[in-house]
Amino acid sequence: MKYAVIKVTNGNFNIHAEGFTDPSAAKVSYHGLCQQLWNDPGTTTACAMIVDENLDVLPGYKEYISKAQPEPNA
């Protein structure tokens, strides 16, 4: 089985890394990507995930990132 790390950043789809045959290596890439997305000031929303060659998400490896500011209480 092969795995890929994919992302959607501010509405733009991208394959971050692909061709992993070992899920552990894909997990390292995924966690690094999530860290980059959280730290990137230009990212307002993002989704990162690990998928297999059937585009099924590896359980527990999908993260939605939203940096929208909460509405102040009126």
Q: How confident is the model at residue 68 (pLDDT cuts 50, 70, 90)?
A: confident
Report d(CA 22, CA 11) in Å as an integer. 29
In tens, the pLDDT along 12-23 reads 999 999 999 999
**What is residue 12's predicted lDDT score, i.e. its pLDDT?**
95
- Contact (CB, 8 A) for 48 and 16: yes
Per-residue pLDDT tens over the stretch 19-46: 999 999 999 999 999 999 999 999 999 9
Q: Tell me: pLDDT of 74 over 70.
A: no
Task: Please report the pLDDT score of residue 16 as a whole number.
Answer: 97
Helix, coil or strand: residue 69 = coil
What whole-number distance in Å separates Cα of residue 52 and Cα of residue 54? Answer: 5
